[in-house]
Amino acid sequence: MAGNITFTMIKPDAVEANNIGPILAMINKAGFRILAMKYMRLTKEQAGNFYAVHKERPFYGELTEYMSSGPIVAAVLAKDNAVADYRKLIGATDPTKADEGTIRKLFAKSIAANAVHGSDSDENAAIESNFFFSHLERY
Ligand code: IDP
Ligand code: MG
């Protein structure tokens, strides 16, 4: 059975462009409840740990540099079928390939600066949520 949480970040480009509010509104409108949330800036080392699965990818250096370039909003979201439904709401990694009306289509600047993160599996949703939040920080 599909799990009911996913993890998201509003990335530095979207924070810089003043799009925290519109993105959170889309998240709520799509039926996700916010279980946990924080506003913070990652160090390059923390970004590297978060994206450790991509260590061998050619864009890893660019990605960790970018993700530590400014503050982000991290959140745990709850909804039935959260992982798949949230991936649908955010759209494809490359915003030029994202469907109309998706968060990345509306707000992303490029394939790297693509406005939001969304977990790709229930297992990673749990790992990523635990990276940022203790159980005492979830409501
Ligand atoms: P996802 O965020 O849609 O799950 P992943 O393949 O997991 O995409 O990649 C993680 C993040 O790495 C992307 O969201 C994007 O910020 C960045 N990224 C992915 N592919 C590229 C690329 O080809 N060039 C630069 N950055 C990339
Ligand atoms: Mg991914």
Is 139 in contact with 78 (CB distance < 8 Å)?
no
Give the distance (Å) from ligand 2 centre to CA of residue 53. 9
Exposed / middle / buried, residue 115 (Cβ in 10 Å: 0-12, 13-18, 19+):
buried
Quick check: helix, strand or coil at residue 66? helix
Q: What integer pLDDT is reported at residue 3 of this predicted model? A: 85
Q: Which residues contact 30 (CB under 8 A, 6 or more apart)?
A: 79, 85, 89
Domain boundaries, the chain: 5-137
Q: What integer pLDDT is reported at residue 111 of this predicted model? A: 96
The amino acid sitting at 39 is Y
Q: What is the pLDDT of residues 18-33, one digit of tens each?
A: 999 999 999 999 999 9
Exposed / middle / buried, residue 13 (Cβ in 10 Å: 0-12, 13-18, 19+):
buried
Determine which one of 76, 85, 117, 119 is catalytic. 117
Ligand closest to CA 61: 1
pLDDT > 70? residue 1: no
Q: Which atom of ligand 1 has the smallest separation from the CA of 93?
A: 3
117 carries an active-site annotation: yes
Q: What integer pLDDT is reported at residue 64 of this predicted model? A: 98
Instruction: Indicate yes or no: pTM above 0.95.
Output: yes
5-137 CATH fold: Alpha-Beta Plaits (3.30.70)
Strands 116-118 and 72-78, how do they pair? unpaired
Q: What is the pLDDT of residues 93-107, one digit of tens each?
A: 999 999 999 999 999
Q: What is the pLDDT of residues 38-64, one digit of tens each?
A: 999 999 999 999 999 999 999 999 999
Q: What is the rounded distance in angstroms from the CA atom of residue 29 to the CA atom of residue 31? A: 5
Pocket of ligand 1 (CB under 6 A): 54, 59, 62-63, 93, 111-112, 114, 117, 120
